[in-house]
Amino acid sequence: MRTAFIKALNELAESDSRVCLVVGDLGYSVIEEFANKHPDQFVNAGVAEQNMIGLAVGMALSGKIVFTYSIGNFGTLRCLEQIRNDACYHRANVKVVAVGGGLAYGNLGVTHHASEDVAILRALPNMTVVAPGDPIEARLATRAVVALDGPCYLRLGKAGEPVVHTTEPAFELGRAIELRPGSDVTLIASGGMLATADQVAGQLAGKGLSVRLLSMHTIKPLDRDAVVRAATETRFVFTLEEHSIEGGLGGAVAEVLAELEGEHAPLKRIGLRPEFNRVVGDQRYLKSLHGLDEEGVMKTIQPIISRSFRLVG
């Protein structure tokens, strides 16, 4: 996703000199091409994230479209008040990009685990929160947020995530993408969990279930209509995210369903337990500890749907 993002940004910067990239001394082997090709559109703010956001806001208020780039928590939580007061309150055209969303930097330590960022940034007025599901969505999201007037949080994984979409989908911020139509259960995924959700959907379909799969790449503003349809047209809704189950995609969907009148499907949030990891592990390993690999997700889903559906095999 990181690669798809920077490639798209390079192209956009080529055709629009307002597009700038401000990095917090991170992005080795990623940002060099941008820096070399567009020196007047590039800034390394150094290891100083509060100033990085402030700078970006100052540039944006002077007419630029500014992407900041850092790792998970550094470019978001470290400078949260700058994002709130300076970027969001002034509706500045600042796009906060975090790489390593979730457990992408698993064995680097808890400091590098971005597990509450979506919940926190989602609470800010004027903010748009986007977590693309695969490299294709990352490319389309990068273009879409350039066109968006106002602040945005773009949460990316690392590199090497699988491509899930087989064709280029229509991409609109705030509009979920349906990868599979279905009428029994709905899986709603954000970020890199889209690939796992796609595999799980395949397994469930193999058991005779009609599975709807949605990529909820925009967590704020949430596609409320898609959530309501899922909860009224199918019999169970699952959310899948590499983020705490508190306040992220699952929280956002729960907010919609809690206020939904009339009969609707129940919800199960699948995500990270809201606690600090205590065991060292790479992304794959830690995800399995949280039940976020294909097997773990199936283990969570299976008993729930066994109660509601007669399954083949």
Partner 1 sequence: MARSASDDDLRALARRLRSHSLRMISEAKTSHIGSCLSLADILAVLYGSVLRVDPKRPDWADRDRLIVSKGHAAAVTYAAVAEAGFMPLERLGEYARNGGQLYGHVTHAGVPGVEMSNGSLGHGLPVGTGMALTAKRERRDWRVFVLMSDGECDEGSNWEAILFAAHHGLDNLVIVIDYNKIQSLDFVDKTIRLEPLADKFRAFGWGVRELDGHDVAALRGTLESLPIEAGKPNAIIAHTIKGKGVSWMEGKVLWHYRPPAEGEELARALAEVEAS
Question: Among residue numbers 39 through 68, which ones bind partner 1 (CB under 8 A)?
Answer: 40, 43, 45-46, 48, 50-51, 53-64
Active site residue 137: no
What does the DSSP assignment read for 217-235? -EEES--HHHHHHHHHHSS
Question: Should residue 213 be labelled a site residue for partner 1 when binding is judged by CB under 8 A?
Answer: no
Preceding amide of 221 cis, omega within 30: yes
CB of 24 to partner 1, least distance (A): 11
Which residues share a beta bridge with 42? 21
Specify the residue, 41 or 218, whose C-beta has the smaller distance to partner 1: 41
Task: Number of residues interacting with partner 1: please give it, by CB under 8 A.
Answer: 25
Q: What residue type is 248 in one-letter code? A: G
Q: Which of 208, 182, 179 is nearest to 196 (CA)?
A: 179
Query: What is the identity of the amino acid at 211?
Result: V
Pairing of strands 211-215, 185-189: parallel
Catalytic residue among 49, 161, 241, 242: 49
Least distance to partner 1, CB of residue 40, Å: 5
DSSP, collapsed to helix, strand or coil, labels residue 121 as helix
Q: Which is nearer to partner 1, 25 or 178 (CB)?
A: 25
End-to-end CA separation in angstroms for the chain:
36
CB closer to partner 1 out of 63 and 303: 63
CB of 142 to partner 1, least distance (A): 21
Instruction: Indicate the residue among 58 and 291 with the shorter CB distance to partner 1.
Output: 58
Which DSSP helix (H) or strand (E) runs through 60?
A: helix 49-60
Q: Least distance (Å) from partner 1 to the CB of residue 50?
A: 4
Binding to partner 1 in span 77-116, by CB under 8 A: 81-82, 85-86, 89-90
| Pairing, β 185-189 against β 236-244 | parallel
Residues with catalytic roles:
49
Binding residues vs partner 1 (CB under 8 A): 40, 43, 45-46, 48, 50-51, 53-64, 81-82, 85-86, 89-90
